[in-house]
Amino acid sequence: MRIVITGSSGFIGSYLVKKLAGNDNYDLVLLDLSLGIDICNWEQLKSFSGFDVMIHLANRSFVPDSYKEPQSFYYTNFISTLNALELCRINKARFIYLSSYVYGPPDYQPINEKHPTSPFNPYSQSKLACESLCEGYCRDFNVPVVVFRPFNIYGLGQNGSFLIPSIIKQAKRGNIVVRDERPKRDYLHVNDLVRAIENSIEYEGDKGIEIFNVGFGLSYSVKQVVDLVIKLCKHKVNYNCSNEFRPDEVLDTVADISKIKDLLNWEPKIQFEKGLELVFNENAI
């Protein structure tokens, strides 16, 4: 099976490539800016052919930057997805898309895939727009699609601007400052996400498009994350919260993962405390 992976050198992509490279049944084709291939440039992309599945990971994802550079976020995320879907249409290939949390402040917990969507920042809005593209290509051109909605992914090698690597970096320096300690998030180790993607490669549902939440099913507040990290330190760590609250902040998210358990035979394996310890000690698994 020939598998195209976009964003192959990114945080999630690098883990996925390592995982799939060990399977002799897979022939991987890697598309990434670091390899000189711009997924937003159709002229560069259109020559790729003869593949069975595309896993589309290439996108911009750091939410604060989506407020600073909204045009870039919308353009990159939308056009790259449009080009990827078009390539799948031409090659009669299946499409696996990594979306995001798109539910906004939840009406109920845990959140299942039937929960109303309510994007609450430019990043999640761009991802929902891409999901709409997926639905259109599935409906109009019979492109089989799997959409993953990851809640909060973490792991060794994540961009240092994200919450967990930021807290760990500060802790090792002896002083942690956070803006808001209240928000609770459902954290999933990147290797568990990669296993979910792997399980979907040969999945052929009867609906044409299938959407899966992917999370652990438990949530931890920022303060709980801080406390767990401080426990891992062998030195004194000062802590301060500046109580800077973002407007319309989502205060808790817990994923209902019953659907992905049933249809993809997947469940998370890495407990958050263990995963956090691995990242703190700079151990990959």
Q: pLDDT tens digits for 224-243?
A: 999 999 999 999 999 999 99
The single-letter DSSP state of residue 149 is E
Q: What size, in residues, is the chain?
A: 285
The pLDDT value recorded for residue 162 is 92
In this structure, of 68-72, 82-86, 154-158, 178-182, the range with the lowest mean pLDDT score is 68-72
The pLDDT value recorded for residue 185 is 98
Write down the domain spans for the chain: 2-154+188-215+256-268
Split at pLDDT 50, 70, 90, the class of 59 is confident
Q: How far apart are CA 179 and CA 181, in angstroms?
A: 7
Split at pLDDT 50, 70, 90, the class of 62 is confident
Q: How far apart are CA 128 and CA 77, in angstroms?
A: 10
Segment 146-161 mean pLDDT: 95
- pLDDT tens sequence across 92-115: 999 999 999 999 999 999 999 999
Is residue 98 within 8 Å of 57, Cβ to Cβ? yes
H or E element in which residue 61 lies: none
Segment 188-192 mean pLDDT: 98
The pLDDT value recorded for residue 120 is 85
Split at pLDDT 50, 70, 90, the class of 186 is very high
**CATH number for the segment(s) 2-154+188-215+256-268:** 3.40.50.720
Is residue 247 pLDDT above 90, yes or no? no
Segment 81-85 mean pLDDT: 98
Which residues make Cβ contacts (< 8 Å) with residue 141, sequence separation at least 6? 89
Is residue 138 pLDDT above 90, yes or no? yes
The pLDDT value recorded for residue 114 is 98
Segment 61-75 mean pLDDT: 86
Above pLDDT 70, what percent of the chain? 99
In this structure, of 60-64, 263-267, 268-272, the range with the lowest mean pLDDT score is 60-64
Above pLDDT 90, what percent of the chain? 87
Is residue 280 pLDDT above 80, yes or no? yes
Beta-bridge mates of residue 252: 184
Give the pair of three-digit tokens for residue 152.
């909060």
Nearest partner of 74 among 40, 37, 30, judged by Cα: 40
